[in-house]
Amino acid sequence: MSPVAGSPLSDRLVIGVDIGTSGARAVAMRPDFSIAGQAAVRLAAFGQDPRSPAAWWQAVRAALAELIAGIDRTTVRAIAVDGTSGTLLPVDGAGRPLAEPLMYNDKVADDDILAVIAREASAGSAAHGATSGLAKALHFQHLPGVAAVLHQADWIAGQFSGRFDISDENNALKTGYDVEARRWPEWIAATGMRMDLLPDVVEPGDVTGTLTAAMADLFGLARDVIVIAGTTDGCASFLATGAAGVGDGVTALGSSLTIKILSARPISAPRYGIYSHRLGNAWLAGGASNSGGKVLAQHFPLARIIELSAMIDPATETGLDYYPLATSGERFPIADPALPPRLVPRPADDADYLKAMFEGMAAIEALGYRRLGELGAPALTSVRSVGGGAANPAWSAIRQRKLGVEFVPALSDEAAAGTARLALKGADKAGLLCLKEAGPL
């Protein structure tokens, strides 16, 4: 099957795929960045372990099948994948998994591996720590028959292209890749890592191949559909919002509070867990606080939060100086593993108590952006908000008052939409469609 003869470039579509811990999502996007279709499938629908690569692929297949059924499949020109950052698996020469993957938050318990990384890795590398991709690669490299150690997105993309030897700069960052020099640094070999097991690395948005005949036939797509290098779920979520200029910030208000800002230069501050992903000629830096929605959930159910929020006047201050945490310990914008929660005195009125927590979290957010500025990031110019907390008008008004910048609606909060933007970049570079503007990429 081939595209409709003579079809205008503006009618062509690309697909972004997001595979996460709960399931798979797929978005079809037009060259004007509008969404032509989307689908989502939960891993639980298959009753399978979220650590199972077979379950990942089953969910991706189901989401794609649902998506493609609702669009003109003959207009699809490219596909890209994002996955959870730091999830790795060992494969044989045919791309078959050899062991259960180590997920993004799994820790490597081998003290020798952690010690050699701590000794050899450059101070600013994202490969430090028990959850790093490099620690997992060192753990897997001695398996019999191992031919490569891949990131989750690499492996899913390999199902489409048949290539199990390639990754992107964003996923490779936590495995020790030097995104400034754009190479695997020499110190990695000094850790004992077999360099031949590490994938080749390209820019997110680069063309890495085309669909295999089997994949084209499976989904009813043209055999010349190109496969594009993807990214991590976090980078994809940032891109999905439409943030594109230096100084644009994105705050994720989920169970935790995460901020990211687009910078003209890389920012590295291991003390705060801060490192920078490369997005074309710009850099994405950010940090994550232990404050956020999980603290609110300790005190009020969601229905009560909604009810109390309607009683809040966001234009006034309670005068309470809260630092809302679920337990002691903070990582950013204050690096203190013993920092205690500050949630007293408690007002008699529940609405005032919730308001004071909102104020405290907004102050943490503002301090976070200031801290990034102290470390070399640009001044914040605008904020886009995602996550459940972004839908709370009272909290949003308090945040905007404390941040003092424009709040811009996010175009999408689907990571798959950000990955579709990468697919658009790749298709544009290949001359398969024409973009008027590609943002930071």
Mean pLDDT of 176-194: 97
What percentage of the chain reaches a pLDDT higher than 90?
Answer: 90
| 160/151 Cα distance (integer angstroms) | 15
What pLDDT sits at residue 4? 44
Distances (CA, A) of 305 to 156, 308, 309, 333, 351: 39, 5, 6, 25, 9
What pLDDT sits at residue 409? 96
> What tens digit of pLDDT does each residue of 324-335 get?
999 999 999 999
Q: Helices (DSSP H) in 166-292: which residue ranges?
A: 169-172, 187-190, 213-219, 233-240
> What tens digit of pLDDT does each residue of 253-278 get?
999 999 999 999 999 998 898 999 99
Q: Is the peptide bond before 333 cis (omega within 30 degrees of 0)?
A: yes
**Nearest C-alpha neighbor of 83 from the set 143, 159, 187:** 159
| 125/145 Cα distance (integer angstroms) | 29
Taking the CA atoms of 219, 224, 229 and 235 in sequence, report the sign of the dihedral they define.
negative
Q: Is the peptide bond before 97 cis (omega within 30 degrees of 0)?
A: no
What pLDDT sits at residue 211? 98
Question: For 86, left (φ over 0), alpha (ψ -120 to 50), or beta?
Answer: left
What pLDDT sits at residue 241? 97
User: Does position 6 have pLDDT exceeding 60, yes or no?
Assistant: no
Question: Predicted confidence band at 438 (pLDDT cuts at 50, 70, 90)?
Answer: low
Q: Do residues 287 and 274 touch, judged by C-beta distance below 8 A?
A: yes
What letter would DSSP give residue 323? B
Mean pLDDT of 416-430: 96
> What tens digit of pLDDT does each residue of 342-352 get?
999 999 999 99
- Which regions of 203-254 does DSSP assign to beta strands (E)? 207-210, 226-232, 248-253
pTM given for the model: 0.92
CA angle 390, 392, 394 (to 5 degrees): 125
What letter would DSSP give residue 215? H
Q: Please list, residue by residue across 223-241, b when 16 or more beta carbons sit within 10 angstroms of its beta carbon and e when fewer do.
A: eebbbbbbbbbbbbbbbbb
> What tens digit of pLDDT does each residue of 122-162 get?
998 999 999 999 999 999 999 999 999 999 999 999 999 99
Q: How many residues can be counted in the chain?
A: 441
User: Does position 424 have pLDDT exceeding 90, yes or no?
Assistant: yes
Bridge partners (DSSP) listed for residue 35:
29
Q: Helices (DSSP H) in 175-269: which residue ranges?
A: 187-190, 213-219, 233-240
> What tens digit of pLDDT does each residue of 207-226 get?
999 999 999 999 999 999 99
Distances (CA, A) of 387 to 45, 160, 171, 271, 349: 23, 30, 22, 26, 27
User: Does position 1 have pLDDT exceeding 50, yes or no?
Assistant: no
- Domains contained in the chain, CATH given: 9-235+414-429 (3.30.420.40), 245-407 (3.30.420.40)
**Other C-beta atoms within 10 Å of 316: how many?**
10
What is the residue type of 49? D
Q: What's the whole-number average pLDDT of the chain?
A: 94
User: Does position 46 have pLDDT exceeding 70, yes or no?
Assistant: yes
What pLDDT sits at residue 2? 41
Mean pLDDT of 283-305: 96
